[in-house]
């Protein structure tokens, strides 16, 4: 679907491109823009992704939704390529395209036959500075975005619960503000807001270009210099003051009760460490939490679904590819009616038990192997690698971090993992949520 809004990222960076046989090439243009080239010649196809290092986080107070609004408007045409020329062209050559906005970044991508590289780069560079937006464009697209908000959030009690839980978990940081924006603030966004947002932020020094697939390095260098290299850099990179959140200090339960809900669901969100602030600890947490909660062979699932039969489903994941704090997400569906704190107690007791008794060296070895195998799968395709590199670099990791990833993974001990999980166990910065009829 077009214009995907990333609320919960499901990409696991831990399963990264370590052990790369041919590492990607990277170079910088004079205006500060970085270009990364990942070669893969299986099919005569190239994926181009441009990652801007800002997302909804950069919006001024009262202007929530502006970054995502801008993303929609980036498809509205330039002088050279007016109206929907861009999308028409991609379609004509059999390509595909999309874009997404997150808290920390905004990205656009196209997948197309390799013969079209030049034109695709030319058009992507062109819309970085030459958009010709009309008031009419902005007015109509605002209606589309309101429909999008209705579709994704307002018509879905589960999404409304998530939105509310996040706003409480992050009372200060922009992670508490919905990417798509609050409805009343979207309604207030103006043509002038959009225009100044565009002019201020869409600059080469805020961008990272990733080319993946059957691409020639020299050609990529020449073309990126020619099209992106001539764009003047902005005054400074779009940088944000580092905002942090206070400890929550109270027990917070959020309840969403709605007549359309037929299946009660229990949720828990934590604020945690991130790869950006601590790579090794995050890898340890990720590995550990995967053993605990990822999939039907996880320990929580084994103990609480298979053995004790308390839940029909239980699981969760760690999302740490963030500029600010990361988060851990847990969910469960009980077989019989239980209160939110009863469920929390059951899961936390089991969690403690797992840390103390069930995380065996054998289990840990299995997880390490799985990590390694996942890296092989992640390379199968052209868009996936571009996405992994783009996201990692945009939130603040370096190519060197990625290069040494497997080494870092190998150096993690079971003890590191246990420590990371114990820290999560002790973590009081969480919100409990209940979806009910």
Q: Which is nearer to other proteins, 268 or 323 (CB)?
A: 268
CB 92 within 8 A of CB 208: no
**Checking phi first, is residue 94 left (phi over 0); if not, alpha (psi -120 to 50) or beta?**
left
Which are the contacts of 257, defined by CB distance < 8 A and separation ≥ 6?
Answer: 436, 437
Work out how close the CB of 90 gets to other proteins at its nearest, in angstroms, rounded to a whole number: 8
Residue 296 is a binding residue for other proteins (CB under 8 A): yes
337 binds other proteins (CB under 8 A): no
CA 362/CA 374 separation, integer angstroms:
19
Q: Does 38 bind other proteins (CB under 8 A)?
A: no
Q: How large is the angle between the packed helices 414-426 and 340-353, nearest 10 degrees?
A: 160
Binds other proteins (CB under 8 A): choice among 38, 58, 67, 111: 111
| Contact stretch for other proteins (CB under 8 A) within 30-38, 224-232, 291-299, 343-351 | 291-299
State in angstroms the smallest separation of the CB of 234 from other proteins: 29
Q: Which of 142, 177, 267, 408 binds other proteins (CB under 8 A)?
A: 142
The minimum distance between CB 344 and other proteins, in angstroms, equals: 19
- Number of residues counted as binding other proteins (CB under 8 A): 71
Which of 305/432 has CB closer to other proteins? Answer: 305
Q: Which of 106, 96, 103 is nearest to 47 (CA)?
A: 96
| C-alpha pair distances (Å), 396 with each of 83, 276, 320 | 35, 6, 12
Tokens representing residue 269 in the block: 């969100």
Phi, psi (deg, nearest 5) at residue 206 = -100, 5
| Closest distance of CB 16 from other proteins, Å | 15
Rounded to a whole number of angstroms, the minimum distance from the CB of residue 398 to other proteins is: 25
**Binding residues for other proteins restricted to 209-228, rule: CB under 8 A:** 213
Q: Which is nearer to other proteins, 192 or 365 (CB)?
A: 365
Question: By C-alpha distance, which of 318, 296, 319, 308 is closest to 343?
Answer: 308
Which is the catalytic residue, given 71, 116, 148, 391? Answer: 71
Among 28, 130, 134, 155, which residue interacts with other proteins (rule: CB under 8 A)?
155
Q: Per the structure block, which two tokens stand in for 399?
A: 């190519």
DSSP-H helix ranges across 156-275: 157-169, 183-188, 191-201, 217-227
CB nearer to other proteins: give 29 or 414.
414
Contact 309, 332 (CB under 8 A): no
Active site residue 71: yes
Please tell me whether residue 295 binds other proteins under the rule CB under 8 A. Answer: yes
Site for other proteins in 229-268 (CB under 8 A): 259-263, 265
CA angle 286, 288, 292 (to 5 degrees): 110
Q: Is 150 helix (H, G, I), strand (E, B) or coil?
A: helix
The nearer residue to other proteins, 33 or 99, going by C-beta atoms, is 99
Member of 24, 55, 57, 157 binding other proteins (CB under 8 A): 157
Q: Which residues pair with 97 in a beta bridge?
A: 110
Taking the complex as a whole, how short is the minimal distance between the CB of residue 416 and other proteins, in angstroms?
A: 20
Site string for other proteins, 63-102 (x = CB under 8 A): ------------x--------x--xx--xxxxxxx-----
Binding characters for other proteins, 176-215, by CB under 8 A (x = yes): -------------------------------------x--
**Calpha distance 181→160 (Å, rounded):** 13
Rounded Cα gap, residues 183 and 193, in angstroms: 16
Instruction: Judge whether 184 and 194 are in contact, CB under 8 Å.
Output: no
- Quick one: 155 exposed, middle or buried, by C-beta within 10 A (0-12, 13-18, 19+)? exposed
CB of 271 to other proteins, least distance (A): 27
Build a one-symbol-per-residue string for 43-62: x at contacts with other proteins by CB under 8 A, - elsewhere.
xxx-----------------
Considering beta carbons, is residue 154 or 192 the nearer one to other proteins?
154
d(CA 120, CA 164): 40
Q: Which is nearer to other proteins, 124 or 141 (CB)?
A: 141
Q: Least Å distance between CB 224 and other proteins?
A: 22
Asked if 383 interacts with other proteins (CB under 8 A), we say: yes
Site string for other proteins, 363-382 (x = CB under 8 A): ---xx-xx-xxx-xx-xxxx
Largest CA distance in the chain: 65
Residues with active-site annotation: 71
């Amino acid at each position: 679907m077009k214009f995907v809004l990333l609320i919960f990222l499901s990409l696991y960076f831990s399963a990264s491109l370590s052990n790369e046989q041919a590492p990607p090439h990277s170079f910088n243009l004079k205006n500060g823009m970085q270009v990364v080239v990942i070669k893969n010649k299986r099919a005569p196809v190239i994926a181009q992704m441009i990652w801007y290092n800002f997302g909804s986080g950069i919006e001024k107070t009262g202007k929530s939704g502006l970054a995502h609004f801008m993303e929609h408007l980036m498809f509205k045409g330039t002088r050279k390529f007016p109206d929907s020329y861009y999308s028409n062209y991609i379609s004509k050559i059999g390509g595909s395209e999309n874009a997404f906005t997150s808290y920390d970044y905004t990205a656009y991508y196209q997948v197309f036959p390799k013969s079209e590289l030049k034109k695709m780069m030319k058009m992507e560079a062109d819309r970085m500075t030459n958009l010709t937006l009309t008031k009419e464009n902005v007015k109509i697209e605002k209606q589309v975005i309101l429909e999008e908000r209705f579709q994704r959030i307002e018509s879905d009690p589960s999404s409304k619960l998530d939105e509310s839980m996040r706003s409480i978990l992050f009372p200060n940081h922009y992670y508490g503000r919905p990417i798509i924006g609050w409805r009343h603030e979207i309604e207030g966004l103006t043509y002038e807001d959009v225009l100044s947002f565009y002019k201020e932020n869409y600059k080469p020094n805020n961008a990272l270009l990733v080319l993946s697939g059957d691409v020639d390095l020299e050609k990529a260098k020449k073309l990126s210099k020619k099209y992106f290299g001539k764009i003047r850099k902005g005054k400074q990179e779009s940088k944000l003051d580092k905002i942090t959140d206070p400890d929550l200090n109270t027990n917070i339960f959020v309840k969403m009760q709605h007549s359309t809900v037929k299946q009660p669901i229990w949720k828990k969100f934590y604020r945690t460490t991130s790869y950006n602030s601590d790579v090794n600890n995050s890898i340890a947490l990720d590995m550990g939490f995967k053993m605990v909660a990822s999939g039907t062979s996880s320990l929580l699932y084994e103990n609480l679904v298979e053995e004790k039969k308390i839940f029909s489903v239980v699981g969760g994941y760690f999302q740490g590819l963030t500029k600010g704090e990361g988060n851990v997400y847990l969910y469960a569906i009980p077989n019989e009616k239980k209160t939110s704190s009863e469920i929390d107690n059951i899961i936390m007791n089991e969690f403690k038990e797992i840390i103390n008794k069930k995380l065996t060296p054998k289990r840990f070895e299995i997880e390490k192997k799985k990590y390694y195998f996942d890296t092989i799968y992640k390379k199968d395709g052209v868009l996936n690698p571009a996405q992994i590199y783009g996201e990692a670099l945009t939130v603040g990791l370096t190519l060197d971090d990625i290069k040494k990833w497997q080494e870092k993974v190998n150096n993690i001990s079971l003890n590191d993992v246990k420590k990371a999980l114990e820290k999560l166990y002790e973590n009081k910065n969480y919100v409990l949520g209940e979806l009910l009829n």
